């Protein structure tokens, strides 16, 4: 009692007072122990405010405290109290009769003291949802009366102590959501009464000990999200009819699912998802006629989905996505009267789906994307009007006339199929929030009735055969955030009040035949982040546009008939990352504010206009700039020396995100998503997906280059350019450059494409050029170069085409021999044949940028914000750099 924190006097005084006031004698020692502990706590919610010396009624009437007839404390319950403190100040030895201790959901931290074993009569111990750290005290094994033990949702670590096996009366044991490592102790098999065992979300390893087969009362076993391994624990199936809930998901189990899984006839829930299971789905699952939740997704299961699953009469959830399942979807599944959720995406399933699927009127979600299904969408799918989510993207469905009565639909993704219908079938779905039918053969116009789908937030109709005008009624879709009508045959002008959609973040109407002027309000959209009007017939004098687009990240206006100066309102678009004005009729100077007012710019495309004057040196202040294309204009003067200081181009990589503050995903109501998250661990998948996606966009980070070809630029090639070590392409062709190729060109050793052709460059080709080991395309033709063409690894795959038109050049691959050479072209031409496929593709790729045959070099930047199934995706495209 030495380390009392309250002043001793106060305590003594309080004791005297309480002694005088007590009518019946409550246990002073117990009161003292509790008050002493209370003094160490921060109790913001005041749960212990009735705990006081002054309280005449004593601890037995304190809130959360209960006593036996002898007025000794037997139960302490302080839950959801926000109490901050530790258990170290609680003298357990003073509370020998406590049977029930519940501190669930507080901010308790520190170690669980080993003295807790003084509570020898403890039956119920709940310390869950706190911040306890360190190991489980070994003395826990002394609490042999324990029936309920919950240490879940803490930060406990170390191994699960063998001693727990001594608590032989345990019926529920929860150790979930901690940081336990090592194996599951075989001693747990001594817990003959154990009915529920929760071990999920730890770092447990090894196999499940076979002795657990002795736990005859175990009905609920959840060991998901660990690193458990080995084959499916077969012994769980011995005398195993007891299980009602078995969850081994998110582990590393391998091998097949045993056929005898059909022995678990009491099962309600079976989750084996996210393991490495192989083989087929056992047909014996058909015996599990109480099973309502079956999740086998994210494994390597193959073969067909067994017809016998049609016998699982209780089944509500059938979740088998991300496997290698093949064959058709069993017809018998249609007879399951409770089936509400089917997720079978990302398999190799094919064939026609039974038209009666959904006939029982309970189907809510069906996700079949990324398979090879064909034929009609099931006719009865909307029976009962229950269907809310339907995603069948990336299949070969050819018909869909059945969706008229799908009045509950929230998400419908039919994209990338063979649908050859008009959009009329889709006008009576007032709850639709996300609709994508892009990449089909949809024809006809966009019906005016689409204006009735006022819940829409994402509408994607791109890449179809839609004709006629964009109906003005679309502007009634006030909640729309994403509108993609690109790549159709839409004509006429852009509806004047399109910008009444106040939340629009992405508007892509590129690649149509839209003409006339742009509605002036378009340039005043506060929320717009991506505006793509590429490849239409829009005509406008840009100079006259007054605009205000504070959120814009990516602006694409190329391939239109825009005239005038580069509009000055862009100066205030300080978040611009991509600006593409190429292929228009813009004239005048390039304003220097592009370099100073658009600090986030990464891609600047002004090619194929009539821009003139000098290239402003300020452009080099764009420290994120990766791609600059000024080709095919009438710029004069030299290349600014400051171009050597493009920061992003002088480094090899750039770790920062393309769109630093991102775009919002267009999501269905968050509650629904939350439920799905918890149900299927989508969080993990999103991360996985992003992981994959990242490796894709990374290549875009590496895409760095300068194209100033086909202008009237003059002067020498500044040696400063040779510091841009990150350059992947450099095109100076078709100008009036003179002087020599800088000696240290070999510094640019990431270069894959280099074009200096059609200038007046003279002198030797620097030897260092041979160190450009990634060079797949080189064009030095039509200059005044002379001397021997250097040889070196990558240079040897080039053909004479790279060097022709230079009178003074000699040596391979030209047929002209240098003075004193013997014939030795043979080995070189051999090499030229070995140009690998990869190299060819690269050449082809740069042919678009640099030679500019074709109008359109697309860098597709996939911005994925959500799981692919749902297609909550924003695909942005950067069209750039064309002739
Ligand atoms: C004493 O305890 C009772 C019962 O919990 C409570 O209603 C009362 O407010 C307490 N008195 C003091 C002075 O805390
Ligand atoms: C608990 O209190 C300590 C010290 O007063 C403080 O540092 C800590 O943040 C608190 N913890 C919580 C979860 O409130
Ligand atoms: C009070 O509790 C102590 C144990 O802490 C016990 O020895 C003592 O007998 C109890 N007194 C009463 C009156 O229950
Ligand atoms: C367990 O956690 C404690 C406190 O966080 C730490 O000091 C200790 O090193 C950890 N032990 C193990 C085995 O991770
Ligand atoms: C409590 O458990 C510890 C560790 O298992 C053991 O050493 C000790 O003897 C036990 N004490 C009692 C009183 O049973
Ligand atoms: C648990 O395992 C993961 C993955 O192997 C690891 O990153 C993490 O550090 C581990 N945590 C502990 C507490 O061992
Ligand atoms: C198992 O559970 C049953 C029923 O709940 C119970 O009667 C029995 O005592 C428990 N223990 C064992 C070892 O079967
Ligand atoms: C499944 O049940 C059958 C019949 O009761 C039995 O013969 C078989 O051994 C059981 N399977 C396993 C793996 O225990
Ligand atoms: C299964 O039950 C049989 C008969 O009740 C029994 O003999 C056998 O030991 C049990 N097997 C296991 C692993 O508990
Ligand atoms: C749908 O839109 C059309 C044309 O915009 C309108 O005539 C019709 O009344 C609307 N139907 C419903 C049910 O709102």
pLDDT digits (tens, 9 = 90+) for 514-558: 999 999 889 999 888 888 899 999 998 998 888 999 989 889 999
> Looking at the CA of 110, which ligand is closest?
4
> 827 CB contacts (<8 Å, ≥6 apart)?
none
Q: What is the pLDDT of residue 529?
A: 86
Sign of the C-alpha dihedral, residues 674, 675, 681, 682? negative
- pLDDT-derived band of residue 880, with 50, 70 and 90 as boundaries? very low
More confident residue, 486 or 689: 486
What is the distance between the alpha carbons of residues 151 and 130, in angstroms, rounded to a whole number?
9
Tokens of residue 615, six digits? 């290239």
Ligand 9 close to Cβ of residue 56 (< 6 A): no
Among 50, 52, 53, 58, the mutation site with the greatest number of ligand 1 atoms within 8 A of its Cβ is 50
- Is residue 380 within 8 Å of residue 402, measured between CB atoms? yes
What is the pLDDT of the chain when averaged over all its residues? 82
Which range is least confidently modeled, 306-320, 649-663, 789-803?
Answer: 649-663
Q: For residue range 319-351, list pLDDT tens digits in order.
A: 999 999 999 999 999 999 999 999 999 999 999
Q: Which atom of ligand 9 is nearest to the CA of 216?
A: 14
Ligand 9 close to Cβ of residue 431 (< 6 A): no
Instruction: With residue 539 as reference, give the H or E element that holds it.
Output: strand 537-541
* Average pLDDT over every residue of 452-474: 92
Q: Is the peptide bond before 779 cis (omega within 30 degrees of 0)?
A: no
Ligand 6 close to Cβ of residue 252 (< 6 A): no
Instruction: With residue 23 as reference, give the H or E element that holds it.
Output: none
Q: Which atom of ligand 9 is nearest to the CA of 238?
A: 13
- pLDDT-derived band of residue 245, with 50, 70 and 90 as boundaries? very high
Beta strands in 725-821 (DSSP E): 729-731, 736-738, 753-755, 762-763, 777-779, 784-788, 808-810
Helix (H, G, I), strand (E, B) or coil at 81: coil
Q: Does residue 667 surpass a pLDDT of 50?
A: no
Q: What is the pLDDT of residue 867?
A: 26
* Average pLDDT over every residue of 782-796: 84
Going from the C-alpha of 24 to that of each of 15, 18, 69, 70, 71, the distances in angstroms are 15, 11, 12, 10, 9
Sign of the C-alpha dihedral, residues 831, 832, 836, 839? positive
Among 47, 57, 64, the mutation site with the greatest number of ligand 1 atoms within 8 A of its Cβ is 57
Ligand 10 close to Cβ of residue 447 (< 6 A): no
Which residue ranges have their beta carbon within 6 Å of ligand 5? 117, 138-139, 141-142, 163
Q: What is the pLDDT of residue 240?
A: 64
Q: Does residue 98 surpass a pLDDT of 80?
A: yes
Residues 444, 446, 451: CA angle, nearest 5 degrees? 155
> Looking at the CA of 49, which ligand is closest?
1
Ligand 6 close to Cβ of residue 179 (< 6 A): yes
Boundaries of every domain in the chain: 577-730+853-883, 739-844
Which range is least confidently modeled, 242-246, 456-460, 533-537, 861-865?
Answer: 861-865
More confident residue, 336 or 655: 336
- pLDDT-derived band of residue 18, with 50, 70 and 90 as boundaries? very low
Q: What is the pLDDT of residue 55?
A: 60
Q: Which residue from 524, 525, 531, 538 is spatially nearest to 509, judged by alpha carbons?
A: 531
Polymer length of the chain: 883
> 2 CB contacts (<8 Å, ≥6 apart)?
none
Integer-rounded Cα Rg, in Å, for the chain is: 36
Distance 176 CA to ligand 9 centre (A): 29
Among 210, 213, 215, 238, the mutation site with the greatest number of ligand 9 atoms within 8 A of its Cβ is 238
More confident residue, 856 or 366: 366
More confident residue, 423 or 208: 208
Q: For residue range 839-866, list pLDDT tens digits in order.
A: 433 433 333 332 222 222 222 222 222 2
* Average pLDDT over every residue of 81-90: 94
What is the distance between the alpha carbons of residues 163 and 142, in angstroms, rounded to a whole number?
8
Q: What is the pLDDT of residue 241?
A: 66
Most trustworthy range by pLDDT among 19-23, 178-182, 456-460: 178-182
* Average pLDDT over every residue of 462-470: 93
Residue that is written with structure tokens 């002027």 in the block: 517
Q: What is the pLDDT of residue 469?
A: 93
Q: What is the pLDDT of residue 868?
A: 26
> 296 CB contacts (<8 Å, ≥6 apart)?
257, 272, 273, 277, 281, 319, 320, 323
More confident residue, 692 or 616: 616
Q: Which residue from 708, 577, 593, 728 is spatially nearest to 650, judged by alpha carbons?
A: 728
Tokens of residue 750, six digits? 């990431």
Q: Which atom of ligand 8 is nearest to the CA of 240?
A: 14
* Average pLDDT over every residue of 47-69: 85
What is the distance between the alpha carbons of residues 710 and 717, in angstroms, rounded to a whole number?
15
Q: Which atom of ligand 5 is nearest to the CA of 166?
A: 5
Q: What is the pLDDT of residue 822?
A: 65
* Average pLDDT over every residue of 802-829: 74
Same fold, 577-730+853-883 and 739-844: yes
Distance 125 CA to ligand 7 centre (A): 21
* Average pLDDT over every residue of 31-42: 92
Q: Does residue 118 surpass a pLDDT of 90?
A: yes
Q: For residue range 688-710, list pLDDT tens digits in order.
A: 222 232 222 334 556 788 999 99
What is the distance between the alpha carbons of residues 26 and 58, in angstroms, rounded to a whole number?
6
Buried b (16+ CB within 10 A) or exposed e, 159-169: ebbebbbbbee
Ligand 9 close to Cβ of residue 214 (< 6 A): yes
Q: What is the pLDDT of residue 13?
A: 45
Q: What is the pLDDT of residue 683?
A: 21
Among 133, 180, 202, 205, the mutation site with the greatest number of ligand 4 atoms within 8 A of its Cβ is 133
Q: What is the pLDDT of residue 187?
A: 95
Which range is least confidently modeled, 427-431, 617-621, 641-645, 744-748?
Answer: 427-431
DSSP code at position 693: H
Q: Which CATH architecture fits 577-730+853-883?
A: Alpha-Beta Horseshoe (3.80)
What is the distance between the alpha carbons of residues 656 and 673, in angstroms, rounded to a whole number?
29
Distance 33 CA to ligand 5 centre (A): 23
Q: In degrees to the nearest 10, what's the CA dihedral of 447, 449, 454, 456?
A: -30
> Which residue, judged by its Cα, is nearest atom 4 of ligand 6?
203
CATH of domain 739-844: 3.80.10.10
Burial classification of residue 647, based on how many CB atoms lie within 10 Å of its CB (0-12 exposed, 13-18 middle, 19 or more buried): middle
* Average pLDDT over every residue of 495-505: 86
Q: What is the pLDDT of residue 717?
A: 94
Q: How far is CA 128 from the centre of its chain?
A: 31
DSSP code at position 861: E
Q: Does residue 51 surpass a pLDDT of 70?
A: yes
- pLDDT-derived band of residue 130, with 50, 70 and 90 as boundaries? very high
> Looking at the CA of 118, which ligand is closest?
5
Sign of the C-alpha dihedral, residues 843, 849, 855, 857? positive
Q: How far is CA 768 from the centre of its chain?
A: 43
Among 217, 218, 241, 244, the mutation site with the greatest number of ligand 7 atoms within 8 A of its Cβ is 217
* Average pLDDT over every residue of 74-85: 94
Beta strands in 290-361 (DSSP E): 293-295, 317-319, 326-327, 341-343, 348-352
* Average pLDDT over every residue of 649-662: 54
| DSSP characters over 209-271 | PGGGGG-TT--EEE--SSEEEEE--GGGGTTGGG-SEEE--SSEEEEEPPGGGGG-TT-SEEE
Ligand 7 close to Cβ of residue 192 (< 6 A): yes
> Which residue, judged by its Cα, is nearest atom 4 of ligand 10?
449
Helices (H) and strands (E) in the chain, counts: 7, 59
What is the distance between the alpha carbons of residues 182 and 206, in angstroms, rounded to a whole number?
7
Q: Which atom of ligand 10 is nearest to the CA of 451?
A: 5
Q: What is the pLDDT of residue 780?
A: 92
Q: What is the pLDDT of residue 82?
A: 92
Q: What percent of the chain has pLDDT over 70?
A: 83
Q: Does residue 716 surpass a pLDDT of 80?
A: yes
> Looking at the CA of 196, which ligand is closest?
7
């Amino acid at each position: 009692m030495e380390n009392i924190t309250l002043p001793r006097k106060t305590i003594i005084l309080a004791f005297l007072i309480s002694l005088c006031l007590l009518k019946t004698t409550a246990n002073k020692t117990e009161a003292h122990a509790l008050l002493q502990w209370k003094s160490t706590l921060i109790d913001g919610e005041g749960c212990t405010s009735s705990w006081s010396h002054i309280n005449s009624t004593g601890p037995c009437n304190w809130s959360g405290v209960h006593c036996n007839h002898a007025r000794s404390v037997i139960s302490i319950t302080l839950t959801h109290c926000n109490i901050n403190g530790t258990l170290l100040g609680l003298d357990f030895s003073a509370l020998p009769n406590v049977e029930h201790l519940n501190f669930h959901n507080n901010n308790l931290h520190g170690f669980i003291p080993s003295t807790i074993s003084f509570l020898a009569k403890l039956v119920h111990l709940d310390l869950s949802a706190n911040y306890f750290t360190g190991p489980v005290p070994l003395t826990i094994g002394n609490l042999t009366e324990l029936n309920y033990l919950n240490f879940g949702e803490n930060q406990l670590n170390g191994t699960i102590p063998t001693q727990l096996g001594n608590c032989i009366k345990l019926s529920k044991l929860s150790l979930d959501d901690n940081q336990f490592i090592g194996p599951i102790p075989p001693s747990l098999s001594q817990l003959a009464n154990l009915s529920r065992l929760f071990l999920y979300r730890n770092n447990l390893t090894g196999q499940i000990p076979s002795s657990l087969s002795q736990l005859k009362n175990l009905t609920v076993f959840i060991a998901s999200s660990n690193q458990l391994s080995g084959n499916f624990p077969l012994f769980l199936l011995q005398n195993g009819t007891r299980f009602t809930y078995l969850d081994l998901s998110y582990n590393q189990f391998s091998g097949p699912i045993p056929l005898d899984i059909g022995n678990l006839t009491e099962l309600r829930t079976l989750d084996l998802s996210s393991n490495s299971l192989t083989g087929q789905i056992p047909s014996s699952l058909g015996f599990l006629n109480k099973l309502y939740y079956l999740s086998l997704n994210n494994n390597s299961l193959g073969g067909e989905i067994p017809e016998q699953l049609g016998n699982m009469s209780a089944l509500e959830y059938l979740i088998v996505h991300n496997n290698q399942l093949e064959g058709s979807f069993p017809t018998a599944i249609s007879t399951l009267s409770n089936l509400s959720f089917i997720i079978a995406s990302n398999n190799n399933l094919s064939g026609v789906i039974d038209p009666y699927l959904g006939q029982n009127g309970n189907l809510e979600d069906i996700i079949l994307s990324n398979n090879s299904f064909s034929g009609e969408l099931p006719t009865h799918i909307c029976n009962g009007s229950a269907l809310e989510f339907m995603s069948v993207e990336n299949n070969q469905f050819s018909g869909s006339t059945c969706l008229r009565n799908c009045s509950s639909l929230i998400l419908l993704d039919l994209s990338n199929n063979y649908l050859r219908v008009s959009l009329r079938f889709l006008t009576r779905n007032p709850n639709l929030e996300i609709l994508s039918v892009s990449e089909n053969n949809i024809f006809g116009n966009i019906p005016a009735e689409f204006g009735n789908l006022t819940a829409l937030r994402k509408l994607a109709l791109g890449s179809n055969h839609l004709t006629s005008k964009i109906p003005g009624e679309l502007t009634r879709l006030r909640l729309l955030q994403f509108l993609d009508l690109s790549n159709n045959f839409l004509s006429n002008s852009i509806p004047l009040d399109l910008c009444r959609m106040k939340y629009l973040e992405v508007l892509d109407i590129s690649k149509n035949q839209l003409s006339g002027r742009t509605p002036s309000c378009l340039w005043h959209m506060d929320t717009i982040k991506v505006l793509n009007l590429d490849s239409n017939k829009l005509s406008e004098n840009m100079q006259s546009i007054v605009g205000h687009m504070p959120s814009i990240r990516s602006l694409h206006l190329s391939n239109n008939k825009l005239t005038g100066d580069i509009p000055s309102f862009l100066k205030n678009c300080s978040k611009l990352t991509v600006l593409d004005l190429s292929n228009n009729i813009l004239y005048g100077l390039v304003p220097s504010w592009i370099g100073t007012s658009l600090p986030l710019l990464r891609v600047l495309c002004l090619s194929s206009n009539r821009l003139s004057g000098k290239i402003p040196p300020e452009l080099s202040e764009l420290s994120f700039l990766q791609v600059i294309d000024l080709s095919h204009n009438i710029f004069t003067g030299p290349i600014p020396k400051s171009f050597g200081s493009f920061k992003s181009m002088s480094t090899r990589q750039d770790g920062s995100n393309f769109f630093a503050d991102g775009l919002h995903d267009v999501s269905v109501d968050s509650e629904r998503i939350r439920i799905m998250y918890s149900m299927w661990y989508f969080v993990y998948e999103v991360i996985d997906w992003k992981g994959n996606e990242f490796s894709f966009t990374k290549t875009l980070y590496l895409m760095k280059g300068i194209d100033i070809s086909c202008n009237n630029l003059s002067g020498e090639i500044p040696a400063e350019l040779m510091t841009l070590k990150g350059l992947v392409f450099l095109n100076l062709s078709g100008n009036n450059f003179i002087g020599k190729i800088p000696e240290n060109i070999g510094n640019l050793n990431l270069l894959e494409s280099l074009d200096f052709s059609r200038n007046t460059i003279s002198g030797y080709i620097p030897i260092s050029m041979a160190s450009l080991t990634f060079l797949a395309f080189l064009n030095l033709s039509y200059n005044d170069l002379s001397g021997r063409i250097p040889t070196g690894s990558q240079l040897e795959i080039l053909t004479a085409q790279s060097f022709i038109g230079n009178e003074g050049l000699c040596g391979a691959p030209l047929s002209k021999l240098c003075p004193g050479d013997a014939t030795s072209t043979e080995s070189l031409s051999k090499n030229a044949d070995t140009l690998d496929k990869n190299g060819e593709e690269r050449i082809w790729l740069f042919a678009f940028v640099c030679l500019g045959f074709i109008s359109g070099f697309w860098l597709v930047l996939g911005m994925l914000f959500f799981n692919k199934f749902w297609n909550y995706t924003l695909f942005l495209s950067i069209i750039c750099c064309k002739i």
